[in-house]
Structure 1
Amino acid sequence: MGCLTLGTGYHSSIFLILQRAEDPALDVKLTSDYVKALLQVLELAGIDAESLWEQGRSFYSDLAVSGEVPEEPVVSKSSGLLFEKRLIERHISDYGKCPITGEPLTMDDIVPINSGKIVKPRPVQAASIPGMLGMFQIEWDGLMLSNFALEQQLHTARQELSHALYQHDAACRVIARLKKERDEARALLTQAERQIPMSVSVPDAANAAALSNGKRALEDDQMGPDGKRIRPGISSSIISELTDCNAVLSQQRKKRQIPATLAPIDAVERYTQLTVNPLHRTNKPGILSMDILHSKDIIATAGVDANVVIFDRPSGQVVSTLSGHSKKVTSVKFAAEGELVVTGSADKTVRLWQGSEGGSFECKHILKDHTAEVQAVTVHATNNYFVTASFDSTWCFYDLASGLCLTQVEDTSEASEGYTSAAFHPDGLILGTGTAGSIVKIWDVKSQANVARFDGHVGAINAISFSENGYFLATAAQDGVKLWDLRRLKNFRTFTPYDENTPTQSVEFDHSGNYLALGGSDIRVYQAANVKSEWNCIKTFPDLSGTGKATCVKFGPDAKYIAVGSMDRNLRIFGLPEEDGGPSES
């Protein structure tokens, strides 16, 4: 049999086989016949198995210590064993002997081995395809985890950037609003300083200072312990002014006679529709409130389209359109002989409009004291003050010239549910308010105390109107119209013109107190009488708008015509034709 020779590259593999055969702790089980056959092969190859075993132990001694091929190999002079330098240094410093033979060993006995620096030897686990696949899997998992972490950081950075941009935008808006309010306050300060008289009494000095600071003087720095704004209040001088006005008007009323120019009953019975005036937008139709300036015979209408239209009735022309509110305008009133117009809106604001010689109007003040829809505005007989009523269950008393809220009165009763209507008594010391909770309340303006309360209606109080004689109050709601005697604080008459599903939207006395008009699914005019006499319906106008909602009714000067606003955007004028003695038109 020829001599079998094996390359030196197989020595390490044969050593591993012998090692596994020797080590019973390893999982690989090699039979004794397999080992004997291997030893016979080694003998035929001329290889000493014992010598190969010692060489393998020397070469793989480092595997016994670290389990890996050494990166910086060194060899022991005494035993010829191969070690990793950093590991054998640590072992010698700790124990002072060889980790394999147990013989004494120092670093002087260690000789470094020069190896190639170009290619780093692969670890044993990378020498097979499964090992390489495992390493690739580990590297791929690490790459994916790193990518996921980067995506999380990117998402967080985007969120922080978006939040910062929103904060910047909000800050810019707040700054712009504050600048606008500052400019308004400065303008009001300048105007108030010109209007306040030089001689200011000592008790009223605080109020005068508040007026001079404009409508927002107390908002920023004078807050009560409950977090509400501190108002300057109705001063003693204002109360004196209101009282003097009441005395003059009461005295005049006693001497007043029915004017000879007042339209007689037979004329009212013959009233027909004279004109139809489309004043508001077609896409948002509806007139919600109206006022007539008798001295100039001009009409202001408040619309769902958020505009107020000033209409010259004799010429049939629109004089001006007041635009500025962002939602529907719920109430409008003339003041100061038509030089000012006061409007309340569902956008929670009240606006004062200053008229000019050309007939146009410019917004003078924007008042933001209410926190809900403003439902009514009413001007005091002095033409120096006005009141607003809102769904927020408060009414505010304002100075007309400066736009300053002197006091804000809150209705804390549970039955209030917010105000829906308001009107001054002709004498000016009494204020009437209607609520969404079907209650009518009477207030003493001087003390801001609730002095009377009328129950009995069903549904919200849509409108209230005081008679010019000062004795009667008419209120309109879901169940019709009730008349109240202010002297006895009792209801003395009730009109139910419509069915229970059709509310009465408006009610109005004429300036003489001789006629009462109400509007709902039609328009009806009653002859006013006293408590004991019958109030007869003298004229009924059909609802020509087709909407079934006559939202506002007003008498013209001397009741020569009746103006009606409804939900079809048209202002209708009812009266006698000019040839029959009706109102003249140019």
Structure 2
Amino acid sequence: MKLDKFLLRYFPPGICLQYTQGGKVKSKVIDFLDLTPQTDVIELAHSVSKNERLITPSVETELIESLKKLQQKLFNNELHFQKHKTLKSHLLPLTNVAFDKLGKKCLTGSYDRTCKLWNIESGMELLTLTGHKNVVYAVSFNYPFGDKILTGSFDKTAKIWSADTGECYHTLWGHNGEVVMVQFNPEKEMIATASMDMTARLYSLATGQELSVLHGHSGEVINVQFSNNGKQLITGSFDKTVRLWDIRLNKEVGVLFGHDGEISNCLFSFDCSLIVSSSIDKTAKLWDTRMLSCRSTIAGHDDEVLDISLNYNGHNLVTASADCTACAWDIYKSTKLISSFRGHSSEVSKVCFSPGGGLVLTASQDQTARIWNVEKGTCLQILDGHTDEVFSCAFSYYGDTIITASKDYTCRVWRHI
């Protein structure tokens, strides 16, 4: 067994060891979910070397330097962003945006029934995907490769496309209502769709054939997410519940009851031990995946909780609300408020952590996005210039690029300077 090379993984932090065994190239991932700005990377490298045969003394120095680079990159919270490009080509308002893994390309969906692929560096439109008969509402890349695109539409179908040529490989039929969310399974040749017809469905990535219909919800299904190991799936619905499914058995294994209002979002933590949900009942809830029990209810907002995001290790949660605020919470052992982010003059509809978890990005109906320091609760920068509601925002994989999407028909790309 011989180490060929190792690659850093920025989000969540880790290292991929590529090695040759028996003439075959294989890989192994070591997670560093407990990496912090205070971590002694020399001690961490020694620990890895001691427990991993592939890390020999000859590469330990290189490992130390790589871990220092990873630490510096992730936990630099003094970034300032400048508008880099404005992407404008859709004829009608945007619906959603998505980065590829490395943040070099992005997708936009629109009410004009198209999805567009963009080069972020140049601002050039690379592809226009046409064929849907109604609004393209959901867009997604297949991580980490980024060679396929998935779109979901109000025409009740989803489509799989080539990210290189724009060819439509498959149209996914079966839903009787609008398709509002789509996702590739990170580990299997499978995709999931969520629909207003009260079902989620699984399809083969290779053939486009329907594999399973996930029945059980009594309201519209607005969210679907695979676990990182690809074995489980959660669905969130307007019926006020989140449901957990075993993909191997195509079977529901649990229902998370407790919210008094429609679900707005639901997420797995990276290690899949925790599920987090948000609701228009003004709360978010933490659920133990194994016990299917509510671990904690977060009730700090004065209006609907519209979005949630977890940091890379699942220790911190951020909530966005119609009460014009976002809040960061420590949820590791007990639940306590870290910071309240106040400054937006209208509802905060989208929120996300930077890859290192030290910054939070919010998008608001007040036509701005804002960058916040998690620990201090201070607004570091206002990203303004849009002329209508900013409904989506995202950090790139490395955290050095931000994209904001607005109902003014444009996306803005912001780069670290």
Q: Which band: TM-score by shorter chain? A: 0.5 to 0.7
Greater helix proportion: 1
Measure the CA separation in 2 of the matches of 1:562 and 1:439.
Answer: 32
Residues 387-436 of structure 1: CA distance to partner in whole angstroms, max 9, x if unpaired? 1121222222111011111222222x5xx212111000111111010011
Q: Aligned residue for 2:117? A: 310
User: Conserved in 2, the CA contact under 8 Å of 1:335 and 1:383?
Assistant: no
Measure the CA separation in 2 of the matches of 1:564 and 1:519.
Answer: 16
**1:463 partnered with 2:274:** no
**1:452 partner SS:** strand
**1:420 partner SS:** strand
**1:346 partnered with 2:168:** no
Q: Aligned residue for 1:454? A: 256
One-letter amino acid matched to 1:545: Q
Q: 1:443 to 1:457 in 2, by over 3 A?
A: same
Measure the CA separation in 1 of the matches of 2:246 and 2:319.
Answer: 27
Q: 1:266 to 1:256 in 2, by over 3 A?
A: closer
Measure the CA separation in 1 of the matches of 2:225 and 2:73.
Answer: 24
User: Conserved in 1, the CA contact under 8 Å of 2:273 and 2:288?
Assistant: yes
User: Conserved in 1, the CA contact under 8 Å of 2:137 and 2:181?
Assistant: yes
**Which is bigger in relative contact order (C-alpha 8 A, separation at least 6)?**
2
Where in structure 2 are the equivalents of 1:77-116 lying within 5 Å? none
Q: Aligned residue for 1:545? A: 367
Q: 1:555 to 1:344 in 2, by over 3 A?
A: same
User: Conserved in 1, the CA contact under 8 Å of 2:103 and 2:396?
Assistant: no
Once the two structures are TM-superposed, the CA of residue 532 in structure 1 deviates from its matched residue by 1.6
Residues 46-101 of structure 1: CA distance to partner in whole angstroms, max 9, x if unpaired? xxxxxxxxxxxxxxxxxxxxxxxxxxxxxxxxxxxxxxxxxxxxxxxxxxxxxxxx
Q: Aligned residue for 1:508? A: 309
Q: Aligned residue for 2:286? A: 483
Q: 225, 236, 241: which is aligned to 1:434?
A: 236
TM-score when scaled to structure 1? 0.48
Q: 1:475 to 1:397 in 2, by over 3 A?
A: same
Q: 1:291 to 1:496 in 2, by over 3 A?
A: farther
Measure the CA separation in 1 of the matches of 2:85 and 2:319.
Answer: 19
Q: 265, 270, 274: which is aligned to 2:83?
A: 274
Larger radius of gyration: 1
Q: Aligned residue for 2:298? A: 494
Measure the CA separation in 2 of the matches of 1:445 and 1:482.
Answer: 24
Measure the CA separation in 2 of the matches of 1:542 and 1:409.
Answer: 32
**2:258 partner SS:** coil
Q: Aligned residue for 1:145? A: none
Q: 76, 93, 101: which is aligned to 1:285?
A: 93
One-letter amino acid matched to 1:404: Q
Q: Aligned residue for 1:560? A: 400
**1:260 partner SS:** helix
**1:402 partner SS:** coil
One-letter amino acid matched to 1:571: C
CA RMSD of aligned residues (A): 3.4
One-letter amino acid matched to 1:410: H
One-letter amino acid matched to 2:308: V
Q: 1:452 to 1:551 in 2, by over 3 A?
A: farther
Q: Aligned residue for 2:130? A: 323
Unmatched runs of 5 consecutive residues or more in structure 2: 1-25, 36-69, 340-358, 369-386
Measure the CA separation in 2 of the matches of 1:313 and 1:346.
Answer: 27
User: Conserved in 2, the CA contact under 8 Å of 1:388 and 1:396?
Assistant: yes
Unmatched runs of 5 consecutive residues or more in structure 1: 1-247, 579-586
Residues 143-190 of structure 1: CA distance to partner in whole angstroms, max 9, x if unpaired? xxxxxxxxxxxxxxxxxxxxxxxxxxxxxxxxxxxxxxxxxxxxxxxx
Measure the CA separation in 1 of the matches of 2:113 and 2:250.
Answer: 31
Count of residue pairs the alignment pairs up: 316
User: Conserved in 2, the CA contact under 8 Å of 1:508 and 1:518?
Assistant: yes
Q: 1:556 to 1:296 in 2, by over 3 A?
A: closer
Q: 1:493 to 1:551 in 2, by over 3 A?
A: farther
Greater strand proportion: 2
